[in-house]
Amino acid sequence: MEFIDTHSHIYDEAFDSDRDEAVERAAQAGVTTLIMPGISSAEHGRMTECADRYEGALPCIGLHPTDVAGNWREELAFVREHLSDRRFYAIGEIGLDYYWSREFEDEQKLAFAEQLEIASANGLPVQIHSRNATDAIFEVLEDVKGLELKGIFHAFSGSYETYKRCLGYGDFKFGIGGVCTYKKAGIAEVIPRMSMQDIVLETDCPWLTPVPHRGERNESSYIPLIAAKVAALREIPVGEVASQTTSTARKLFNII
């Protein structure tokens, strides 16, 4: 079976002591491709170094909502300036996060909308981060409704109604990660009702580690654990989950 981790921060400093080994463990688990979301200009070099070092580690570029600050316009200028440096597979990780702080609430919205425009203009998918900001996410999507958008709602944990509403704004898929393995995880009740063609797998490593490793550092080699849980929830073979999610991710990110 072949898997794609559609959201891996393998370049994070949490992997500095054993990054080579973590990438090898992922390969041995059948995870052939790691999509690396961009965070900010400060992390850009670490990510592109990983892209150069590891076959199958594919870079994205964007400004994460928690990195939106007073210099957000300079950060978006960085995105625009470096977008042609190499092939980037998505604009992201972008979106809104009102969990940690609402100091730059308006700036987050502006940065999110502008990056959606960048993605649409360049025919790229987006990786959307949403935390404590569902209504505001929809406000921005409504404001840019004329754009042709595609991408992933990263770490999706919304209701079935939210899932259906997201589909009205573009060709969107939904990143299912370790949270689906947790007891009382609401997304576990939604997954059986979703179209299998709308689901992709992700770890968000080094965070959101699936059971039975919860409490430890997450890594891309745990994707099969997430796939197994999705298969159990949908009562289908895990091979079907692997095949469909890998096909969906390849098409979305235009991976040959």
Residue 122 near residue 87, CB atoms below 8 Å: no
What one-letter code names the amino acid at 109?
A: K
Show pLDDT as tens, one digit a residue, over the chain (256 residues). Answer: 999 999 999 999 999 999 999 999 999 999 999 999 999 999 999 999 999 999 999 999 999 999 999 999 999 999 999 999 999 999 999 999 999 889 999 999 999 999 999 999 999 999 999 999 999 999 999 999 999 999 999 999 999 999 999 999 999 999 999 999 999 999 999 999 999 999 999 999 999 999 999 999 999 999 999 999 999 999 999 999 999 999 999 999 999 8
**Distance (Å, whole) CA 249 – CA 223:** 14
At 256 the pLDDT is 82
- Domain containing 123 equals 3-253
Residue 15 DSSP code: G
Write down the pTM of the prediction: 0.98
Which CATH number is 201's domain given?
Answer: 3.20.20.140
Phi, psi of 137 (to 5 degrees): -60, -45
Residue 85 DSSP code: S
- Structurally, the chain folds into a number of domains equal to 1
Tokens (6 digits) for 170: 């573009």
To the nearest 10 degrees (0 to 180), the angle between helices 72-82 and 105-121 is: 10
- Complete edge-to-edge strand list for the sheet that includes strand 91-97: 91-97, 126-131, 150-153, 171-176, 199-201
At 25 the pLDDT is 98
Cβ atoms < 10 Å from Cβ of 250: 14
Picking from 119, 255, 160, 252, the residue whose alpha carbon sits closest to that of residue 197 is 252
What DSSP string describes 154-220?
TT----HHHHHHHGGGSEEEEEE-GGGGSTT-THHHHGGGS-GGGEEE---BTSSPPTTSTTSPP-G
